[in-house]
Structure 1
Amino acid sequence: MIRGVRGAVTVEKNEEKEIVAATEQLLREMIKENHIDAHSVVSVFISVTDDITEAFPAKALRAIEGWTYVPVMCMREIPVPKGLTKCIRVMMHVNTEIAQEKISHIYLGNAVSLRPDLQQELNR
C-alpha cells in the first residue's frame, strides 16, 4: 500500500545553497528514520512558501545516490496569513507495509511548530 511520509524544514535565507542543503538534510532524515529505499518511492512533492524563490528544492533529491529516477515536483504552498515563513514541505509517497501510525514524520528548524503533537510522540 502507499503511505505518505511528511517532513518540513525552514531556512533563514532565500539562498540556493541554504535551500538545497536544508532540503537534503530533511530528505536524508526522512529516508533514514523510515528505512526508505528509492525503488519503493512512487513520487515526491515539495512545496515552498512564497518567500523561497532562489532554487528548486528538488535539486537536493538528485544529490542523493540512487534517487535519479524518482519523480519529484516542486510547487507553491498556499499563502496563509500569519503562516510559517521560509518553509519547505515534503510529501513522499512510499510503497510500504508499515502501519500509518508507525511512520516517522520529520520536522526540522522552525517547522516543528507545524506538528508539535508528532514531535511529542517522537520524544516519548
Structure 2
Amino acid sequence: MAVRGIRGAITVTVNEEAAILEATEKLIRAMVEVNGVDPEDIASVMITVTHDLDAAFPARGARALPGFELVPLMCSNEIPVPGSLEKCIRVMMLVNTEKSSREIRHVFLEGASVLRPDLNSQVK
C-alpha cells in the first residue's frame, strides 16, 4: 500500500457560504467516487481557496460527507498569482491505496477544468 495524492479543483460564481460549501462537497464527492476511496483510507485533505473566497471554510462542506467526521482537513489561501483563475477551490487528498499513480483519476470541475486538462478525468 502507498500514499497517493488525488488532485481536484472547482470554481464558484459567487463568494457566498452556500456556494463554497456545495462546491467543496461536490468536488470531494466526485474525487472519492471516481477513485473508489473509502474515507477510512484518507490520510488527510488540504483545501485551498483563492483570495476572493472568504465567506466560509470549505472544510465544512467536506465534513458534511458521510465518513468524513474524523478525516483530517486543513484550509489555506492559494498564492495570489496575477492573472490566475479566480473563485477557485483546490483540493489535495492524500489516500492510502493499492492503486498506482497512473490509476489515480484527478477531478477538475466547472471553470477549473482549464487548470490541468492533461490530468482531468472529465467527471461531470
State the TM bucket, normalised to the shorter chain. Answer: over 0.9
More helix by share: 1
Determine helix, strand or coil for the equivalent of 1:18: helix
Determine helix, strand or coil for the equivalent of 1:60: helix
Where in structure 2 are there 5+ consecutive unaligned residues?
none
**Distance (whole Å) between structure 2 residues aligned to residue 122 and residue 53 of structure 1:** 28
User: Residue 85 of structure 1 aligns with which residue?
Assistant: 86
User: Residue 36 of structure 1 aligns with which residue?
Assistant: 37
Where in structure 1 are there 5+ consecutive unaligned residues?
none
Report % sequence identity. Answer: 51
Number of aligned positions between the proteins: 122
Determine helix, strand or coil for the equivalent of 2:5: strand
Structure 1 residue 33: Cα displacement: 0.2
**Distance (whole Å) between structure 1 residues aligned to residue 107 and residue 34 of structure 2:** 8
Instruction: Decide whether aligned partners of structure 1 residues 15 and 122 sit closer, same or farther in structure 2, where only a CA change above 3 A counts.
Output: closer
Contact 2:24 2:61 in 1 (8 A): yes
User: Residue 62 of structure 2 aligns with which residue?
Assistant: 61
Structure 1 residue 23: Cα displacement: 0.7
Determine helix, strand or coil for the equivalent of 2:79: coil
User: Residue 108 of structure 2 aligns with which residue?
Assistant: 107
Root mean square deviation of aligned Cα: 1.3
Determine helix, strand or coil for the equivalent of 1:118: coil
**Distance (whole Å) between structure 1 residues aligned to residue 109 and residue 52 of structure 2:** 18
Runs of 4+ with deviation above 2 angstroms:
none
Determine helix, strand or coil for the equivalent of 2:119: helix
User: Residue 28 of structure 2 aligns with which residue?
Assistant: 27
Q: Deviations over 1:53-107 (max 9, x none)?
A: 0000000111111110000000000011100000000000000010101101000
Q: TM-score, normalised by structure 1?
A: 0.95
